[in-house]
Structure 1
């Protein structure tokens, strides 16, 4: 996420184990998990390398995310109806990070906000699929490449909270989908790096 290891960097188990003062077993397991998240790639006779996460990768992941969270909003509305304190607290943390222009904190709290909604849907397949797309990593990469106004971007969370508090799952789902599709506030970034997202208006 920090870019300390750029795409193409070879990841040698023994060297990483020494650096982290551990055995190679946990390192091997971690690399397998990262490969499952499509963040590293392992090739026969070439070893493991950091994989480039392309704008197309991010675009495809976020198109799927929008569909998943539309469903999550619909399913989670009964759970959050009249009880959104946890979401409000997390949204406040997002706002604080936006004011501080702290991309790392913004991404962490933003992903936690959306995960709370997906968990509220009480559908383990939905949650597992959502988790498999590693959104905190992708979001940080997206934010670091863009010129997004974080304070403006976070405003959508409060409308989502309002819909969930009212138990309006249809509206919550629509707002989540629109928020995710339209997240890049800079149109030139959207067209240049991500490709044109479908509109939900």
Structure 2
């Protein structure tokens, strides 16, 4: 429950529904999410560790300003992680690409229909499966910390990138993986995510 609350609160912060300086009150949030204060406290602690809120004595927990630079740097880090993951996955001895094939089909359908939420769901499936196929729990753990679905949803809604354009970039990554072309898979995975970082700022 704490993770779900964290993701909802983070989405509100990134979308601007919570402004810098807004106070997040445990009791009110617990009532909203129909839970005890424990999961809310856990969510707020995680958001503080990630740098999105700050807690001060006698002032409670308040929203920090999230700069475009922070969003850009998160995408840069993700690009590096996914390049390493793709290179490792392409060399895996017994890879299973079926889930990624389904994700690519879902991405293309959602993009054609202009379904942003559907796109985000299949995009997460594609990229998380890619990282998981690397066989590295460390890469997967750090990828999860970047909260990819929430970030891509915010980026797409901002109009910084076009869904139809980035949707087309997934199939070539999968094809390189299926050919066990580690260098190409790594480069395509890196370029795909780094292009978004570049659109977010220099």
* TM-score of the two chains, using structure 1 as the length reference: 0.84
Match of 1:124 among 127, 137, 142: 137
**RMSD in angstroms over aligned alpha carbons?**
2.1
Deviation at 1:140, TM superposition (A): 1.4
Choose which of 151, 157, 172 in structure 2 pairs with 1:144. 157
- The offset of 1:80, in angstroms, is 8.1
CA deviation map 1:15-56 (0-9, x unaligned): 111222322112111211222333333233321123333211
Change in Cα spacing, 1:143 to 1:43, as seen in structure 2 (3 Å) is: farther
Report how many residues are paired. Answer: 189
Question: Cα distance, 1:101 vs. partner?
Answer: 1.8
Q: Where in structure 2 are the equivalents of 1:89-100 lying within 5 Å?
A: 89-100=102-113
Q: Residues 82 and 190 of structure 2 are in contact (CA less than 8 Å); yes or no, is this contact kept in structure 1? A: yes
The SS at the match of 1:79 is: coil
2:81: which partner in 1?
Answer: 68
Q: What residue in structure 2 maps to residue 195 of structure 1?
A: 201
Which position in structure 1 is the counterpart of 2:178? 165
Alignment of 1:4-153 (within 5 A): 5-8=17-20, 9-79=22-92, 83-153=96-166
CA distance in 2 between counterparts of 1:42 and 1:80 reads 47
State the TM-score, normalizing by the size of structure 2: 0.84
Q: Point out where structure 2 has 5 or more consecutive residues left out of the alignment.
A: 1-10
Structure 1 alignment gaps of length 5 or more = 197-201
1: CA distance, partners of 2:119 / 2:66? 20
